[in-house]
Structure 1
């Protein structure tokens, strides 16, 4: 009557002439004794299964897989799923400091967040939106966008993304203010980062935005780069490549933070970099799409 005919517990109680608690106990007993089994035929069930498998394979603290949706782009689906996770942690009472990276995906994630009031919390940038000549890419200043969205205190990384020289790198990174900001990032309760796509044909945003040149991109590709994590170029194992670009990258080393570090990315073009981020332990949390989860599980 309950599972097949779809009647509610009050209707069943009235028809059988028993109390509602008796009906509850009978239904519970039917489940416990195996008389009833429940299967969920919905895409989200598959995604939950993939989430557990990916989480186990890569020893993650958190994994969220979004279902394939023909009516939505992968970017939109992953960003919406990322916004759900981000909102959960921002609103948690134990979250006081939020570390945040940059990129198109993270910007879309933030756009899906409802406006909030968290003036007691801190939002700290992990990567600079400033080029070597001092010009700022306001489009890519996701930490500022997030801080304004949730009305949090904003801490900006006080350096260009890449320094002009090794000497300039030392000056920027040894500056007391820079060290104060990275110390805040060290204590972030949760961190969200984007994962840069492979640098193929100049299509990567980090090239399009002028942070590195086509020549440098070619050199990195020859060395085995599959993409970048907070401006650091890595190979498929997640190892940092020995290149001048990486040596002059002033971004925060996210692996210094022992807490939850969530990578939010999806799509075929980012799969190798996602795998690199997982294998190199850059992240211990992931939000991605169903097809990418399948790909990761057979690597």
Structure 2
């Protein structure tokens, strides 16, 4: 929570202009209609309350392009990009920067569809300043989550944040992640729900997170049971599609009703950008590639090393 006696919106405007847009303090003062000393006070206050944060990055301990090439070869995916350092400790800022670069390279045009999933990583990067502007691009959610209390699993909120940052056109899905049989049947005939599923079918790209192994997992959407023996072999999931270490699907009673794109559709998408950081996710990343659920991986240095070590140990 940002606690201050100053106007939060004024603080944000001053900080964004100076630190994000690179505007000099004199011009910031002219924009805001305040004095230059006031701008200095606004910037100092923004830093004090944590609205503006600085970090000093450690130099990478490995040759990142070489590490990425080796990991790409092991995973058999189209592309791997690696941010330096531990990105979990850095709130995924380096991964957010890499995502911005990937989206710029796609050159998405007005009317094209970009899908985005829920999860800790996608929520974290959805509001980052490194994302490109995507005017006219349609952003749509891949999973239900209207009932979730954790914002990381509220897909509509993630879509809204992402669209606000990129100036894209958001589309929302008003459905829980795991509806009843009766609601499931109703959704199939609902025009607003069918609009979303039609967007799934014509999407050009999707941005996803990679879930940790089921056993001992801390962050998990509320609709997935915590003590389901059928899920014990699951080493990860993407868009609520759980899989074992070989990449084979893992299902459980009721999973056929989950609101998510079919696995075959995800496999067929031209570009699937997966983001994951944390050494515990090494088997999730390795098996997710075997499942064919992503084409591009954005990760960090320690996670990449962990995946390579696991692949060498397991053959």
TM-score under structure 1 length normalisation: 0.71
Give a deviation string over 1:123-164, Cα, whole Å, max 9, x none: 111112223xxx665453322221122221111234211122
Q: 2:203 aligns with which of 166, 169, 188?
A: 188
CA distance in 2, matches of 1:245, 1:291: 36
**Which consecutive unaligned segments of at least 5 residues does structure 2 have?**
1-58
Q: 1:202: Cα distance to partner?
A: 5.6
Q: Does 1:94 align with 2:111?
A: no
Alignment of 1:113-262 (within 5 A): 113-114=129-130, 117-131=133-147, 137-140=150-153, 141-165=157-181, 167-173=182-188, 175-201=190-216, 203-206=218-221, 210-216=222-228, 218-221=229-232, 224-253=233-262, 255-256=264-265, 257-262=268-273
2:250 is paired with a residue whose SS is coil
TM-score under structure 2 length normalisation: 0.68
User: Would the alpha carbon gap of residues 246 and 127 (structure 1) be closer, same or farther in structure 2, given more than 3 Å must change?
Assistant: same
CA distance in 1, matches of 2:264, 2:304: 23
Q: Does 1:49 align with 2:60?
A: no
2:246 is paired with a residue whose SS is coil
CA distance in 1, matches of 2:217, 2:60: 35
User: Would the alpha carbon gap of residues 188 and 44 (structure 1) be closer, same or farther in structure 2, given more than 3 Å must change?
Assistant: farther
User: Would the alpha carbon gap of residues 81 and 204 (structure 1) be closer, same or farther in structure 2, given more than 3 Å must change?
Assistant: same
CA contact (8 A) 2:83 2:300 kept: yes
Q: Please, what is the CA RMSD of the aligned residues?
A: 2.6
User: Would the alpha carbon gap of residues 250 and 173 (structure 1) be closer, same or farther in structure 2, given more than 3 Å must change?
Assistant: farther
Task: Give the corresponding residue for 2:14.
Answer: none
Which one has the largest radius of gyration?
Answer: 1
CA distance in 2, matches of 1:61, 1:255: 18
Aligned length: 244
User: Would the alpha carbon gap of residues 52 and 250 (structure 1) be closer, same or farther in structure 2, given more than 3 Å must change?
Assistant: same
Give a deviation string over 1:34-83, Cα, whole Å, max 9, x none: xxxxxxxx637611101112222333222101223xxxx43255822332
1:111 is paired with a residue whose SS is coil
Task: Give the corresponding residue for 1:83.
Answer: 96
1:193 is paired with a residue whose SS is strand
2:126 is paired with a residue whose SS is helix
**Which consecutive unaligned segments of at least 5 residues does structure 1 have?**
1-41
Q: 1:89: Cα distance to partner?
A: 4.2
CA distance in 1, matches of 2:189, 2:252: 21
Task: Give the corresponding residue for 1:33.
Answer: none
Q: 1:234: Cα distance to partner?
A: 1.6
